[in-house]
Amino acid sequence: MAKILLIDDDPQVRAVLKGFLQIGRHQVLEAGNGVQAKKLLTDVQADLVITDIVMPESDGFEVIMSCARKDQPLKIIAITGGSPNLAQQTLLAIAQKMPVNKVLSKPVTCEELLTAVQDVLNAPTNASLPQST
Amino acid sequence: MFQHDKAYNYWYSQPVFSVLYILWGTVKQSSNQQSMMPLFLGRFLPLALFTLLAGGAIFLLEHRSHLDLLYKFGKIQSIDEQSPLTIALEQHQFITIASVTLLALIIAAPVAWLKAARQRRDLIAEHQNRENLRSIKLLLDSTIEGIYGTDKEGRCILANRSCANQLGYGSPEQLLGKEMHPLMHHSHADGSPYPASECRAHRMVDSGATPVLVTDEVFWRQDGSSFPVSYSIHPIQENGQIIGMVCTFVDISERRQLEDQLRHAQKMEAVGQLAGGIAHDFNNILQIISGNTQILQYDQNQQNPEQPQLQEILKAVERGTALTRSMLAFSRKQTINPAPFELNQMVKDSLLLAQKLLTKEITLQLKLSEEALVITADEVLLQQVLFNLITNARDAMPNGGTITVATAEQSIAENTSTGSLQRCLPGTYAVLLVRDTGQGIPEEIRQKIFEPFFTTKEVGKGTGLGLSMIYGTIKQHGGFVQAESAEGVGSCFSVFLPTVSACILPKQHTK
């Protein structure tokens, strides 16, 4: 059982992913965008962040970068369904080049998500990114 | 030599000779290019000859009648007598008649000169007119536009070469005098009759309407075929009266074809953008449906492990996911991972999987080229293209038949201008061809087969994205697709992909 922060702007999608994670008996924290996620992370220590990429206000890329800059970088799974301007494949390709542990594309099955979560949690801790000046 | 020079100088120094020389020079100069002299002589010489002959005849008659008189009055003994009187009379008569003749000649000369000058002026004007006509004809015959003029009754009074050529006649003269409307404007594009009374060109002569430009009609050739045309008509006016009209036209078949291609490309582009735009929301929606279904499945699993309805929902989501992927592939936004590979090997590798798509009634034939066909493409996508074409071929033959998968190498020359070959870069292409022996594609829908969501399959059996996906993918690879079909014989889809050498070719051209 792990404490997982789930970030997605669509409440219905969030509910579904939360349901999946609860089936895997994980504790789930929710955020609707990157700004809310940052606030939550100052108070709570999460084991893993699952984030959507295209979101209003602070998007998934910002979340990924800010998590990676921490002294103890968080493990991240990025999940995307594409955007009106960029294709899903392009977004996935970008996300893969960022400091994330796993990239998934929507729609994701319960099994896929839980396997990915397990894989990432079992992986060794991320190395910290150099602080930007 | 010395003597000759001396003689020349002597003659040249004589005033009479100088005057004659100067006069001759003036005549020569005024005659301009010596054409005046023959004209003058042509008129003056007969006149002079006639005057001289008349003078001589008068002299003889006069002389004879005077001698008769002298003889009657007994002044001479015989008519043939030579006396001082007869000699004096003869001399007197000669001088008188010679003077009159000379006077007549002197009067005749300037008259002949004036007449010659007038004739020369006319000749020059006529020559200029002929030259003008020749240049006008040359100019008219050198235009791409067909031009013809008609009189008030609509009969052809003038036509240029392009007009004759476009209407399928050997020479413009064949059109002269013919009524143009029944000849080449008798029917609408759909074949329905086009009465002269409705023809704007015809009405113009009667009503004096303003010039018009028409771009939505057809002209008919001599062989009975027609071509889309853009024509303009203007009235021919003389002294404020309309005496006919002139029509200028161009065959716009090629322009139409390009417009159609452009419209088609724009439509595909728009649908592609739309697909990319909705894919994000669509994926979220699918996530919500599938996710909730899976959660429901999990919750109820303990009591009722068999949940066929929930399973159906998940199957539907899978179809939806496949549809979004196809739409994105078509929108050309899918990233491709091109790498060089050998086409024949790919076809051979795909064969086992392709066999699984087919029923027992269908035979799969391979005709691979002997030479290796190296192309740079996304192997997985191209395999999808092949499967898609094989599936289509299978569906076209519900009662069984033969599917032929062939490969070949084809060179496309720089000046190829037929069909879809005209817009591709010249070079060597690898061709992947899938032919079936099915029912064929009717002509009227062949234009639409590459359009997204166009399908002839029953609702639920096909998304109508297969061929458009192929179109998008192949386009993205710098190739193109050709479809040939004959009803009842079968269809053949050829995918052209540049071979590695063809990719390099365009760069060589720019050198």
DSSP H stretches of helix in B331-465 = 343-357, 379-395, 443-446
Per-residue pLDDT, B176 = 92
End-to-end Cα, chain B, rounded Å? 73
Q: Using the 8-state DSSP alphabet, how is residue B357 labeled?
A: H
Domain membership of residue B4 (yes or no) is no
Tokens for A119, please give them. 């894989």
End-to-end Cα, chain A, rounded Å? 37
Nearest-angstrom CA–CA distance, B176 and B171: 10
Please list every residue in chain B whose beta carbon sits closer than 8 Å to the beta carbon of residue A115: none
CB contact under 8 A, B291 and A17: yes
A107 touches chain B (CB under 8 A): yes
A105 touches chain B (CB under 8 A): yes
CA B344 to chain A, closest CA, distance in angstroms equals 28
Residue B495 neighbours by CB under 8 Å, 6+ apart: B385, B389, B431, B432, B433, B470, B474, B479, B481
CB contact under 8 A, B286 and A109: no
- Across the interface, which of B321, B331, B333 has its CB nearest the CB of A107? B321
Per-residue pLDDT, B2 = 44
A87 touches chain B (CB under 8 A): yes
Residue A69 neighbours by CB under 8 Å, 6+ apart: A129, A131, A132
Q: How far is CA B18 from CA B12, B23, B288, B324, in A?
A: 6, 9, 122, 109
Where is the domain boundary, B205, B225, B251? Answer: B251
Q: How far is CA B343 from CA B231, B382, B411, B432, B434, in A?
A: 50, 9, 16, 8, 14
Please list every residue in chain B whose beta carbon sits closer than 8 Å to the beta carbon of residue A94: none
Per-residue pLDDT, A84 = 54
Per-residue pLDDT, B318 = 83
CA B284 to chain A, closest CA, distance in angstroms equals 6
**Of A54, A16, A61, A83, whose CA–CA distance to B282 is shortest?**
A83
Q: What is the SS3 assignment for A63?
A: helix
Please list every residue in chain A whose beta carbon sits closer than 8 Å to the beta carbon of residue B337: none
Per-residue pLDDT, A99 = 75
Residue listed under structure tokens 């929108």: B331
Cα angle: B473, vertex B476, B481; to 5 degrees: 60
Q: Give pairs for B123-131: CB < 8 Å, separation 24+.
A: B123/B35
CB contact under 8 A, A87 and B290: no
DSSP states of B172-230: GGGGTTSBHHHHHSSB-TTS-B--GGG-HHHHHHHH-PPPEEEEEEEEE-TTS-EEEEE
Q: What is the SS3 assignment for A47?
A: coil
Where is the domain boundary, B271, B306, B330? Answer: B330
Pairing of strands B212-220, B156-159: unpaired
Residue listed under structure tokens 């716009």: B252
ipTM comes to: 0.81
Could you report the per-residue pLDDT of A70-117, keeping only the tens digit for each? 767 788 898 887 665 555 566 666 766 777 888 888 889 999 999 999
Please list every residue in chain A whose beta carbon sits closer than 8 Å to the beta carbon of residue B321: 107
- Chain B residues within 8 angstroms (CB to CB) of chain A: 276-284, 286-292, 294-295, 298, 317, 321, 328, 331, 333-335
CB contact under 8 A, A82 and B283: yes
**Of B170, B194, B198, whose CA–CA distance to B183 is shortest?**
B194
Residues B208 and B59 in one domain: no
Domain membership of residue B25 (yes or no) is no
Tokens for A69, please give them. 């800059």
Domain membership of residue B504 (yes or no) is yes
Residues B242 and B275 in one domain: no
Q: Using the 8-state DSSP alphabet, how is residue B399 labeled?
A: T
Please list every residue in chain B whose beta carbon sits closer than 8 Å to the beta carbon of residue A12: 284, 288
Instruction: Determine contact, residues A67/A49, Cβ cutoff 8 Å.
Output: yes
Pairing of strands B226-238, B212-220: antiparallel
Please list every residue in chain A whose beta carbon sits closer than 8 Å to the beta carbon of residue B283: 81-82, 88, 105-107
Residues B216 and B269 in one domain: no
Amino acid at residue number B273: Q
Rg, Å, chain B Cα set: 47
- Superfamily (CATH H level) for A3-121: Response regulator (3.40.50.2300)
Per-residue pLDDT, A81 = 75
**Of A55, A42, A26, A54, whose CA–CA distance to A120 is shortest?**
A26
Per-residue pLDDT, B403 = 92
Residue listed under structure tokens 């995918």: B495
CB contact under 8 A, B280 and A12: no
Per-residue pLDDT, B146 = 94
**Of A17, A9, A18, A10, whose CA–CA distance to A37 is shortest?**
A9
Whether the per-residue pLDDT at A131 is higher than 60: the answer is no
Residues B484 and B347 in one domain: yes
Instruction: Determine contact, residues B303/B276, Cβ cutoff 8 Å.
Output: no
Domain membership of residue B480 (yes or no) is yes
pTM beyond 0.90, yes or no: no
Sheet holding A75-80, edge to edge: A27-31, A3-7, A48-52, A75-80, A102-105
CA B301 from centroid of its chain's CA atoms: 75
Domain membership of residue B481 (yes or no) is yes
Residues B326 and B346 in one domain: no
**Largest interatomic CA distance in chain B:** 177
Taking residue B227's Cβ as centre, other Cβ atoms within 10 Å add up to 18
Nearest-angstrom CA–CA distance, A37 and A65: 13
Could you report the per-residue pLDDT of B81-108, keeping only the tens digit for each? 888 888 898 899 999 999 999 999 999 8
Flag residues of chain B having pLDDT under 50: 1-4, 31, 33, 333, 417, 420, 422, 460, 502-511
Where is the domain boundary, B295, B330, B365? Answer: B330
Nearest-angstrom CA–CA distance, B213 and B198: 15
Per-residue pLDDT, B58 = 93
Residues B313 and B423 in one domain: no
**Of A29, A67, A107, A103, whose CA–CA distance to B279 is shortest?**
A107
Q: Using the 8-state DSSP alphabet, how is residue A85 labeled?
A: S
Instruction: Determine contact, residues A44/A88, Cβ cutoff 8 Å.
Output: no
Q: Please report, to the nearest 10 degrees, the dihedral formed by the alpha carbons of residues B416, B410, B262, B511 taken in order.
A: -70
CA A90 to chain B, closest CA, distance in angstroms equals 7
Sheet holding B362-367, edge to edge: B362-367, B401-412, B427-435, B490-498, B480-486
Per-residue pLDDT, B507 = 38
Residues of the domain holding B220: 146-251
Per-residue pLDDT, B335 = 55
Instruction: Please report the number of interchain residue pairs, chain A to chain B, with beta-carbon separation below 8 angstroms.
Output: 81
Output the domain CATH number for residue B467.
Answer: 3.30.565.10
CA atoms in the 13 A half-sphere facing the CB of B142: 6
- Across the interface, which of B277, B292, B335 has its CB nearest the CB of A90? B335
Q: What is the SS3 assignment for B362?
A: strand
Nearest-angstrom CA–CA distance, B431 and B421: 13
Tokens for B346, please give them. 């790919």
Pairing of strands A3-7, A27-31: parallel
User: 3-state DSSP: chain A helix, strand, coil percent, rounded to 5?
Assistant: 40, 20, 40
Residues B385 and B364 in one domain: yes
Q: How many domains does chain B have?
A: 4
CB contact under 8 A, B328 and A82: yes
Dihedral-angle region of residue B304 (phi above 0 means left; psi in -120 to 50 means alpha; beta otherwise):
beta
Per-residue pLDDT, A20 = 93
Residues B174 and B265 in one domain: no
Per-residue pLDDT, A116 = 93
Per-residue pLDDT, B502 = 43
A19 touches chain B (CB under 8 A): yes
A94 touches chain B (CB under 8 A): no
Please list every residue in chain A whose beta carbon sits closer than 8 Å to the beta carbon of residue B330: none
